[in-house]
Amino acid sequence: MEVSKSLRLCLIVWNVIIAILSFNNGVEASHGIYPEYESLAASTVRQLHRTGYHFQPPQHWLNGTIKKIRVPLIHIELNQNHEKKKNWVRQFGGDTNVLSHYNFGFCCQSCIILKVGGYQLQWYLCNLVNWEALEPAIFPSEPFDIKGTWSGSATVFPESNPVIYYTGVDAKGQQVQNYAIPADRTDKNLRKWVKPKEGNPMVVADKEINGSAFRDPTTAWQANGYWNILVGSRKGSTGVAYLFKSKDKKTWTKTARPLHEVPNTGMWECPDFFPVSTSHEKGLDFSELGKDVKHVLKVSLDVTRFEYYTIGTYFLDQDKYVPDKGQEGCMGWANESDSKEEDVKKGWAGIMPIPRTLRLDPSGKQLLVWPIDDIETLKGNKVQMSNQQLETGKPVKISGITGNQVCSTVMTNVYKPMFGGFVDVDLSDRKLSLRSLIDNSVVESFAAGGKTCITSRVYPTLAVFQDAQVFAFNNGTEPITLEHASAWSLESPRKMNN
């Protein structure tokens, strides 16, 4: 269901557990390897806690969204997934949902490709909330990726040639950057992909680069006659976004210095670099430049397991990015926060949060994150509440709708701290707003029009399915007025999660 609320101080869902798994197993590539699960297929798939309208595979493990492209006729995303009857090797990383930058107008036919250390799977959709699974697209098969096909991105070049850039782990265990192209460009689903031997690997680590920490190529953009990509890395404890340039999209040369680097931030995974407009809310092509354009550099910090972005200026002639001062944000990632043993028992792990729009706040100081409009197509029964006085410590039930996970869990071995977000808002009218999406084992909340966003995994065991309820309550010191609250039940997409 969805809960969309406006109130004077704060409205939150009763007893929601905010849970994000964030620890490090000490492995350079952020992979916690469990050999006892590598050949173990899910014998059962538990329905408890499986989502109704959030994207997830039929079984086994799924990781977070990483890259995206914007093109007239097709949309491709690279994620990290687990293929049916393949390894239960679980990855713990800082990849976050914020990268679902659906601030563009897409057509109704799109494709998503999800990846694991072994295979990459495809899904096809009719809108951004209804996905249908296709066969695997990419898996280790060549010397340059025989030990893993890892994260990457996709680009559709002006001549309508889609290309996947991804990190492969070669026979020596080194991380190299490769590319794949469609076997049949006329196939609207792009079901088959090939990895040309010519030009692969396209980028390898030189003496300056740590070959065991060199991954996640970005979507390409064009500037000054060159195509450009970033690859995340680190130099000691300094996080680095290396910049590579090419005229022919085949031969790539590292620039004299990285696009950006920051000391004491550790490995930079899943970098993303894209323009945002300062004059309107529409999305921009990745190669867009001009006076009304700012650039966003986002990275996943391997050390903290969080996503960070900065807004700043891209100096083309210097191949340099300079963040604006004091304009940094932090967002979390929605992975499983129960134990690995519990994931095996339930037969699945990981979901995709609802895709989001991303635009620059009118102040130019931060990004606004908001669910895509396609979520509106799932709305069903609606209930409303207006001018409700909320006394201190006295919850008020929002009748006529179920919350599907508003009760605290009694499960053990669940990571369940409380998280919050700082919001820069104007309280001259003494009002705040909150929008929440609630779906069995995940809560996504957007405060103050998207100025802050929290995505959390929860595991209710008492109030589940139709027994769950939604409450408004006030834990402050004075009574407040809930001016308006609307809540909808959301239907499950037709072809997804069946």
Instruction: Report the alpha-carbon distance of residue 67 to residue 90 in Å, rounded.
Output: 20
Count of residues for the chain?
Answer: 498
- pLDDT at res. 106: 24
* Domains of the chain, earliest start first: 2-11+369-490 (2.60.120.560), 31-367 (2.115.10.20)
Terminal-residue alpha carbon distance, the chain: 18
* Nearest CA among 269, 364, 360, 283 for reference residue 69: 283
Instruction: Tell me which residue of 193, 200, 155, 162 sits closest to 179, measured CA to CA.
Output: 200
3-state secondary structure of 35: helix
pLDDT digits (tens, 9 = 90+) for 397-413: 888 776 554 444 556 66
* Residue scoring higher pLDDT (19 or 352): 352
For residue 36, the model assigns a pLDDT of 62
Residue 440 has what pLDDT? Answer: 86
User: What is the average pLDDT across 152-161?
Assistant: 85
Looking at residue 101, the DSSP 8-state letter turns out to be B
Is the Cα torsion angle 29, 353, 307, 410 positive or negative in sign? negative
What digits encode the pLDDT tens for the residues 294-303? 999 999 888 8
* Percent of the chain clearing pLDDT 90 (strictly above): 30
Mean pLDDT value across the chain? 75
Nearest to 150 by CA among 221, 255, 78: 78
DSSP state of 346: H
Q: What is the mean predicted confidence (pLDDT) over 469-486?
A: 86
Task: Give mean pLDDT, residues 343-357.
Answer: 82
**β-bridge mates for residue 457, sequence order:** 442
Give the C-alpha separation, 271 to 481, whole Å.
43
pTM: 0.69
What is the per-residue pLDDT across 60-99, written as a single tens digit (0 to 9) for each? 777 644 354 333 323 333 333 333 323 232 222 222 222 2
Mean pLDDT of 209-217: 95
Where residue 122 falls among pLDDT bands split at 50, 70, 90? low
Ranked by mean pLDDT, the top range of 210-224, 314-328, 401-415 is: 210-224
State the Cα–Cα distance between residues 122 and 131, nearest whole angstrom.
10
Please state, in angstroms and rounded to a whole number, the distance separating the CA atoms of residues 127 and 110.
Answer: 8
Please, are residues 22 and 456 in contact by the beta-carbon 8 Å criterion? no
Cα–Cα distance, 464 to 485 (Å, whole number)? 22
pLDDT tens digits, one per residue of 5-20: 332 223 223 222 222 2
Instruction: Answer whether residue 319 shows pLDDT above 50.
Output: yes
Predicted local confidence at residue 61, as pLDDT: 73
**Per-residue pLDDT at 476:** 84
Span 225-255, pLDDT tens digits: 999 999 999 999 999 999 999 999 989 999 9
Confidence of residue 361 (pLDDT cuts 50, 70, 90): confident
Which tokens in the block code for residue 374? Answer: 């396609």
Which has more pLDDT, 332 or 369?
A: 369
Mean pLDDT of 202-209: 96
Instruction: Determine the pLDDT at residue 98.
Output: 24
Residue 271, pLDDT > 50, answer yes
Asked whether residue 182 carries a pLDDT value surpassing 50, the answer given is yes
More confident residue, 484 or 221: 221
The confidence score (pLDDT) of residue 56 equals 80
Determine contact, residues 125/112, Cβ cutoff 8 Å: yes
- Residue 136 pLDDT exceeds 80: no
3-state secondary structure of 116: coil
DSSP string, 294-342: EEEEEEEETTTTEEEEEEEEEEGGGTEEEEEEEEEEEE------S-HHH
Averaged pLDDT for residues 359-376: 85
